[in-house]
Structure 1
Amino acid sequence: MAPLIDAIRGALDAEWSIENMAAQVAMGSRTFQRHFVGAMGAPAGEWLLLERIRRAKQLLEETDLSVDEVAFMVGFGAAATLRNHFKAKLGTSPADYRRRFQAVRTE
């Protein structure tokens, strides 16, 4: 599973479907899902979403890239999609997250 995780993290902007991930490790979709949950503690789709959000947070903290650029780089494709997932998981928008992070960093 580790080579697949590395591949996903290295290409978050790619189209990662369950079928595609399963094929990467030569498993059927259901078998892959069971093994993935065992290895990573979450279903592949949920893990991928959280990994994209984690990387978006890092880019918002460490770069001056626009929210649109961050969304594209982490595989959300559009800023609106990033905003929706960010808000649902973190309770804030990407722009507000960046502002708060920068305010804390400058204190």
Structure 2
Amino acid sequence: MRRATAVGVGALLALAAVAASSVEDAAAPGDEAGTRPMPDFLGRGLWRVFTHLDRRTRLDVHDVSGRDRRVLWPPRWEVCTQYPAAGTVLDRRTTVMIGVVRKGETCPPRVRDARR
């Protein structure tokens, strides 16, 4: 059981490395200075966050359903909250915070109200 978990995590890290390298190849013009505007991830899959942010961006992902689950497989999660807001310029010191729920679940009411 322990080995299967290690293999699963290794596969996830390999996929993330491939996605990060492909994103770097298609870098936006603002990347030379190390700044980019924050994309709008609300309602999108968590995998999009990993593929659209620079690999050096500090990222804090947490479950906002109240169940305090660990987020292990990004394709199974959907973004409910994000900080900073879309359009905010990201620099190397910015920590991006993403609140997620499992796909198919609805965002908690207090989270949906904060999105408006």
TM-score normalised to the size of structure 2? 0.29
Q: Which has the higher contact order (CA 8 A, sep 6+)?
A: 2
More helix by share: 1
